[in-house]
């Protein structure tokens, strides 16, 4: 499968889950959940009603993640010798996203698990094209 298509599917999925998807069910046992809700409306994700469970900070970070994913696609297509750096950047960014999501909102972490699977696939594609 093409990296552009995978990135497109990742982008649509992430934006859907973080902006549109609503549910009654919430994983509200994040480590800093109560502290984050007291920091202001940018970090509040109400877990007691049927709604989207991602706070404004998570939505902002989703937009940043989509932009960075498309920047990665650009560099994969236009930079011959930077695949190892792209792999390192991808791993660091994915670990950072997982850590922040796990600390701040377990719903966000659960929603991005499928993306980690596709990210592993992208890394394998990049690594395979680098070894040829």
One DSSP character per residue, 3-41 reads HHHHHHHHHHHHHIIIII--BS------TTHHHHHTT-G
Q: Is 37 exposed, middle or buried (0-12, 13-18, 19+ CB in 10 A)?
A: middle
The answer to whether the CB of 18 falls within 8 A of the CB of 111 is yes
Query: Does 5 have pLDDT greater than 80?
Result: yes
Strand partners, 51: 23
pLDDT digits (tens, 9 = 90+) for 40-88: 778 777 667 788 989 899 999 999 999 999 999 999 888 878 888 888 9
The CA distance from 104 to 27, in Å, is: 11
Query: Does 36 have pLDDT greater than 70?
Result: no
The CA distance from 132 to 68, in Å, is: 26
pLDDT band at 39 (very low <50, low <70, confident <90, very high): confident
The CA distance from 123 to 69, in Å, is: 12
For the entire predicted model, the pTM comes to 0.86
Query: Does residue 82 sit in helix, strand or coil?
Result: coil
Proportion of the chain above pLDDT 70, given as a percent: 86
């Amino acid at each position: 499968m093409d990296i552009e298509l995978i990135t497109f599917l990742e982008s649509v999925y992430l934006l859907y889950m973080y902006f549109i998807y609503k549910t009654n069910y919430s994983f509200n046992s994040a480590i800093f959940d109560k502290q984050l809700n007291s920091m202001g409306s940018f970090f509040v994700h109400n877990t007691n009603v049927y709604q989207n469970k991602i706070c404004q900070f998570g939505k902002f970070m989703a937009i940043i993640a989509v932009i960075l994913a498309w920047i990665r696609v650009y560099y994969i297509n236009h930079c011959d010798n930077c695949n190892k750096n792209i792999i390192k950047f991808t791993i660091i960014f994915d670990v950072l996203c997982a850590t922040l999501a796990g600390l701040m909102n377990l719903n966000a972490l659960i929603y991005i698990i499928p993306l980690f699977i596709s990210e592993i696939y992208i890394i394998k594609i990049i690594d395979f094209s680098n070894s040829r």
